[in-house]
Chains A and B, each alone.
Chain A
């Protein structure tokens, strides 16, 4: 049975040979996309976390055949640079096995909530187990990534504001004022969220 889906922005087909084959097995064993890690295969550890139509899920608990026409983003396509950099800077990686799943979960958290509290971070990461770090440095990395994303957005806003240098002095009917540009600039552009030059995928449904 052939299943077609978008994986990290690319149209992808996989031939599966049993109805219960997991998305995790398909990604790793058929598509050779080994960024998504296999640890427990029972949804306990979060190592295989991917975004399915934008929501974090355990790839081991999704049947590949359920993904026909749907959008999958792995650690390769779901994680902004600020999140990866923060994990490195803070030493939030030790053995690294849980890292891809954590990166995907953190990327999703920060997209929904720009500056989450410790409590929110702990709840959002409750499904990602790490046996090395004791989590403190991971939580620190989330704060660092959040701060970097905010300052990155401010830089983008400043850049956008200078794109209309005449706006302050010449109110034009059609030209947006700098302030009205800010909300869209605060959200990272979709192209920045993909890890490479592939075209970004559209919103689900």
Chain B
């Protein structure tokens, strides 16, 4: 069957849709017309287009760029191309990047995870994006390319405000480099169901036993995803693991909640977000500590 092609009654509209073959061509096109809107999985952009919140005259498809759709093992870290969909992070990287894989598994639904990408999460820079907390907790770096070259930005320095980042016109997020887990990690997300939910709040915690370091990342409880530096500095009983007690867990929760800058909105109140983060933090620390202790025993 060849489906009938409806005759167009009006002259073809003046619009551009580019399907570059490689990143260099994508960057050239973007430099020539900076208002061109890049599209990868489309899970954020197409909602805005469907609801007429935006009507791009020119779009740039990133899904054809093979170099963005692969991840590579860099030894101490994994470099994930910006176009790798969440479904593949869940299926292929759960062992080396457990908190990022756990967070990826909570993104939308299977349909969304087949399309949505970490690069899109970063470019959109929603404070509620599920990918952000694990990137903060593990000290990941974001790779940004333009015609001028490539620059690398720590995830902690990437976000500048609600849906704002250091990304400049003409720049593309090309990859994220995430250190491999050096100990147990947790990702906890609060919402009304297990799927298709924008986080009320979320928290990633990573533990590095060798370097005696704790990493944190808070989502959906501030104008940007946030770290909790004072919580990361909490004095843990590294030499005597069994001495981690409830008081310490509660103090860690208090410090995480204090680092959040939540607001009241349609999904929750600021007060509940702080409360939930404190509970999640204590739970996450107990889990990573127990897992690490069991592992080394």
Contact = CB atoms under 8 A, between A and B. Distances in A.
A22 B109 contact: no
Nearest to A14: B5
Contacts of B51: 41-42
Nearest to A51: B114
Contacts of A198: 1
B115 A19 contact: no
A66 B39 contact: yes
Contacts of A152: none
Contacts of A12: 1-3
Given A12-B2, A19-B56, A127-B109, A68 B47 contact: no
Interface residue range, chain A = 35 or more
A62 B50 CA distance: 11
Nearest to A126: B195
Interface stretch (A52-60, A157-165, A168-176): A52-60
Contacts of A118: none
A131 interface: no
B46 A62 contact: yes
26 contacts: A10-B2, A12-B2, A14-B3, A14-B5, A19-B16, A19-B57, A20-B56, A22-B49, A32-B3, A41-B47, A52-B114, A55-B114, A56-B114, A57-B115, A60-B46, A61-B46, A61-B115, A63-B42, A63-B46, A65-B17, A65-B19, A66-B39, A66-B42, A66-B61, A126-B109, A127-B195
Given A20-B59, A57-B111, 8 more contacts: A13-B5, A20-B55, A22-B49, A30-B6, A43-B112, A58-B112, A61-B112, A65-B17
